[in-house]
Amino acid sequence: MAQIIKTGAEYFETLFKELNPKKMLFVCDEAFDFLPDKVKNIYFDHKDKLVLFNEFTPNPLYEQVCKGVDLYRENGCDTILAIGGGSTIDVAKCIKLYCKMDPKENYLKQEYKDSGVPLIAIPTTAGTGSESTRYAVIYFEGKKQSVTHESIIPNYVILEHSVLKTLPLRQKKATMLDALCQGIESWWSVNSTDESKVYSRKAVEMIVANYKKYIFENDDEAANQIMIAANYAGQAINITQTTAAHAMSYKITSLFRIPHGAAVAICLPEVWGYMLDHPEKCIDHRGIEYLSATLKEIPVTLDWFKALLVELEMGYPESTDRATDIDTLTNSVNPVRLRNFPTELTTEVLRSMYERIVK
């Protein structure tokens, strides 16, 4: 079925009556207690039919997901509700995927099939896009596992912008930047399509038009627009995947404990600048030509993006062992993600970028 996206937490009541679940596994994180009453009451109003699962960390482990699968089965659940950030939604996606697999074997090694379990997602941040993608990230034996399957795209998404009201400012900035980078990267991805470009453009335009009021004034309507924009960005990368800036960012986050969106944002100017300065290295001109023409209409330029990082006070990582850290970062980049980028990036080029990023 096509994904159904609605705005306003009130839609949950309509959806609950339509689905009429016997038992619903309710996946949430520790931030749930700080959400507005209209969202918290979803749990309290239906407590007799909801089975709470919150035993997982921000970078969820395979073993934690398995606990959620066990709880789902033990309670005879037939529906899953996720209220939280990207990690929460990723956990719910994996529970949906694994809940009908053989529990005696490692789920990661089994063939992925659609379990047919309805999944409802209510994101509490605006930026990860997890509520509209076929990807989830968990960790097994210390290694990142990218779980991918069309069936884990949530069937229903409810966008409730009031959840953004109490987000820490640092998190609001980082997640918004993540959505903006997703939109831009999807635009120039070699996998871009006419459909993905529509989503990219909407995401970027809406963020550019609303970020000041959202970040600096905590404006309600701006928050609503940013929430919708982040969802568009998620729909865009679901088609195209992310590219070089994301590929470069992951180790920065783990090495320096910089929020994911901020790490992506400080990498983006490097890859963007290299792409513009080296047309002879271009392996796919379509994305670059479309990007250059369209971003000027919004307008978004490389200089504008650099100025945005200054305005949002996005700092760069500081290292006490710079040579070692740059080696680690350079060797960490997944070459698969680089293939989505329209310009060839060698190891030497990546190293030079990290040398400008790490202070």
Q: Give the DSSP H or E segment for 30.
A: none
Strand order, beta sheet including 79-84? 4-7, 156-159, 119-123, 79-84, 24-28, 50-53
Report whether 204 contacts 178 (CB < 8 A).
no
Instruction: Identify the three-state secondary structure at position 81.
Output: strand
The SS3 assignment for 189 reads: coil
- Cβ–Cβ contacts within 10 Å for residue 151, how many? 16
The partner residues of 294 in beta bridges, in order of sequence, read: none
Which two three-digit tokens encode residue 205? 């335009």
Question: Among 147, 43, 17, 31, which Cα is nearest to 95's?
Answer: 147
Domains in the chain (CATH in brackets) are 4-163 (3.40.50.1970), 168-357 (1.20.1090.10)
pLDDT of 141 reads 92
Q: What is the pTM for the complete model shown?
A: 0.94
Please check whether residue 206 is in contact with residue 224, taking contact to mean a CB–CB distance below 8 angstroms. no
Give pLDDT, residue 144. 84
pLDDT tens for the chain, 359 residues long, are 679 999 999 999 999 999 999 999 999 998 899 999 999 999 999 999 999 999 999 889 999 999 999 999 999 999 999 999 999 999 999 999 999 999 999 999 999 999 999 999 999 999 989 999 999 999 999 888 999 999 999 999 999 999 999 899 999 999 999 999 999 999 889 999 999 999 999 999 999 999 999 999 999 999 999 999 999 999 999 999 999 999 999 999 989 999 999 999 999 999 999 998 998 888 876 656 666 666 677 788 899 999 999 999 999 999 999 999 999 999 999 888 899 999 999 999 999 999 999 99
- Where are the strands (E) in the chain, listed by range? 4-7, 24-28, 50-53, 79-84, 119-123, 135-140, 143-148, 156-159
